[in-house]
Copies of this chain bind each other. A is one copy, B any other.
């Protein structure tokens, strides 16, 4: 611990530090700092309550000129509900604190809240309060969302075992491809693909129904949401579970069309952030059952690799079986170090 203090700040090491410095001993607290959400059981309550907070900062997490206020509202609540989805919770309530610069008109504020309320309500989360504040220059959105477990079932990052098979929902790299389109307006692409990538980036869909189903299935050992890129988030899942992982490049559900946009689809799938898909592990004895039962109406799931012994080490298997394995570099999104 004293050693860490002299190192430059990064998000993970700071969160580790905070977790050890401020252990909480409340009997109502099941899980504090360090997962997608905190888990509490109010005395007498039938279910666990899950609490997660996420902040979006203008010019770091979004640019005003790239998003409508309604889209920003929708995305702000979605990224929080994705954290609840990752633990299998049902969205219930949320608060929003909003700091806005003087040039923002009231219309903008209302449209932002419309987006928040519309997306939140659609997924079962109701706006119950918050704070409005001035800022000198940049908009800051800070949301805290509350979810409720079903049948007391909550999935953590920490339940994985070596040998479990790794899956993701949906496809990876679409949001980063959408960001690329925004950054480089000269890129030509088919309207449908452009729309798909922009939607993934500006108005992502949290996997609430899939997350709830996976938690209820009893077939999943650990789960988290992919917000900072697979190469950042998978090591976190591994560290929490005390295992390593090996993933196969050719198994990743990449967003292939971005190859025409000067992007490497595998790179974006590994290191692009904000996919808000679910990453989860399934014991090898249960994977057939899971694949058979998983409802077709949910975003498809793809097996991308497996958990292996060796805490926190993540290996990437190459295209050809004879290729050596590489330690996957953590090139994803560190909220603390990067600027887009």
Residues of A within 8 A of B (CB): 5, 7-9, 11, 14-15, 17-18, 21-22, 24-26, 28-29, 32-33, 37-38, 40, 42-47, 49, 51-57, 59-61, 92-93, 95-99, 105-107, 109-110, 113-114, 117, 126-138, 140, 142, 144, 146, 148, 335-339
Q: Which of B52, B99, B135 meets A129, CB within 8 Å? A: B52
Q: List 5 A-B contacts (CB under 8 A).
A: A17-B110, A32-B127, A55-B140, A57-B136, A144-B144
Contacts of A113 in B (CB 8 A): 18, 21-22
- Measured CB to CB, the nearest residue on chain B to A40 is B93
- CB–CB A134/B336 < 8 A: yes
- Interface SS of chain A: mixed
How many Å from the CB of A1 to the closest CB on chain B?
Answer: 10
- CB–CB A93/B51 < 8 A: yes
- CB–CB A21/B128 < 8 A: no
- Bound CA span A148–B44, Å: 12
- Measured CB to CB, the nearest residue on chain B to A134 is B60
Contacts of A15 in B (CB 8 A): 132
Contacts of A25 in B (CB 8 A): 126
- CB–CB A133/B95 < 8 A: no
- CB–CB A24/B126 < 8 A: yes
Would A106 and B9 be within 8 Å (CB), given that A99-B55, A128-B38 are in contact?
yes
- Bound CA span A97–B52, Å: 10
Other contacts beyond A40-B128, A42-B45: 18, CB < 8 A: A7-B106, A8-B106, A14-B106, A14-B109, A15-B132, A32-B127, A33-B128, A42-B148, A43-B45, A44-B44, A44-B45, A49-B49, A56-B133, A57-B99, A57-B133, A60-B135, A131-B335, A136-B137
- Bound CA span A55–B134, Å: 10
Q: Which of B59, B132, B146 meets A14, CB within 8 Å? A: B132
Q: Which of B44, B140, B144 meets A95, CB within 8 Å? A: B144
Q: Which of B106, B127, B138 meets A24, CB within 8 Å? A: B127
Contacts of A98 in B (CB 8 A): 55
Would A51 and B128 be within 8 Å (CB), given that A42-B45, A117-B21 are in contact?
yes
- Bound CA span A338–B11, Å: 33
